[in-house]
Amino acid sequence: MKNDLLTIGPLTIHGYGLMIAIGILAACLVASYRAKRLDLNADHIASLTLWSLLGGVLGAKLLYWFTQLNNIIQNPKILLNFTEGFVVYGGIIGGILAGYLYCRIKKLNFLKYFDLLIPSVALAQGFGRIGCFLAGCCYGMETTSHFGVIFPEHSLAPSGVALIPTQLISSGLDFLLFTALVLFAKKKTRDGQVAALYLILYSAGRFVLEFFRGDLVRGHVGALTTSQFISIFIFLFSIGLMIVSVRKKKLK
């Protein structure tokens, strides 16, 4: 767990940023490869990725600010910190909306490209969570089990105590989700089903994993964390999307 991996003069390579970069590169390569196999125009992949990335960063930051409204009112300078404080669900929602806007402008079938790109999103998330582990963010609760991890000093996670490695658990689940989506994509019967399956599995997994998170900066809605609250609605919406898709297939 070391975020500062290499320093060359004034330049420091951070583990979190490196993992994010690797994840984005891997996502683009996989999406381009699958686009060619599916006879889709791979020329749009780079632009779609850029739009979704920008929309995702904006969405992640906006949702974080929303969870921190009380703190922002007391200290507006929080708004000037653009390097820390992001909520993944905001990134997912913002990325989807940006991708939809791009497809509307370019007159592309949104659901086809949504299905194409969503496995790559899971892949990028898998690498991103490794970056979280290196930086110490998104850490788990204290534990006495043999699977606990003690983070070093200067980490974003509390040092000196064993914590559940929720980052690595999440990363492993993301890589499994990527594999499942790629396999399911070969058997889908209608556009949108791969995206619906991603939303179903991700929201369910995230809801459960939130019980083991130890960082409290993410905000709460009653007894639920912000992410758990959002997970419920995304899960129900995606279940409905999948049911509608299956029923349309049966009606043909």
- Is residue 250 pLDDT above 60, yes or no? no
Instruction: Note the pTM of the prediction, 2 decimals.
Output: 0.87
Mean pLDDT over the full length of the chain: 88
pLDDT in tens, 60-111: 888 888 877 777 888 887 777 766 677 888 899 999 999 999 999 999 999 9
| 2: confidence class by pLDDT, cuts 50, 70, 90 | low
The per-residue pLDDT for 85 is 72
Report the candidate in 219, 190, 177 with the shortest Cα–Cα distance to residue 85.
Answer: 219
- Greater model confidence, 216 or 34: 34
Structure-model confidence comparison of residues 200 and 153, the more confident one = 200
Over residues 207-232, the mean pLDDT reads 85
The CA–CA distances, whole Å, from 43 to 29, 31, 36 equal 12, 11, 10
Question: Are the C-beta atoms of residues 168 and 125 closer than 8 Å to each other?
Answer: no
Q: What pLDDT was estimated at residue 252?
A: 46
Reported confidence tier of residue 153, pLDDT bands at 50, 70, 90: confident
Classify the phi-psi angles of 167: left when phi > 0, otherwise alpha if psi is within -120 to 50, otherwise beta.
alpha
Distance CA 161, CA 107 (A): 53
What pLDDT does 10 receive?
73
Residue 81 vs residue 40, higher pLDDT:
40
> What is the mean predicted confidence (pLDDT) over 17-29?
92
Give the C-alpha distances (Å, rounded to integers) separating 15 from 4, 66, 78, 102. 6, 27, 24, 31
Q: Which residue has the higher pLDDT, 86 or 166?
A: 166
- Confidence band, pLDDT 50/70/90 cuts, at residue 6: low
Percent of the chain with pLDDT over 70: 92
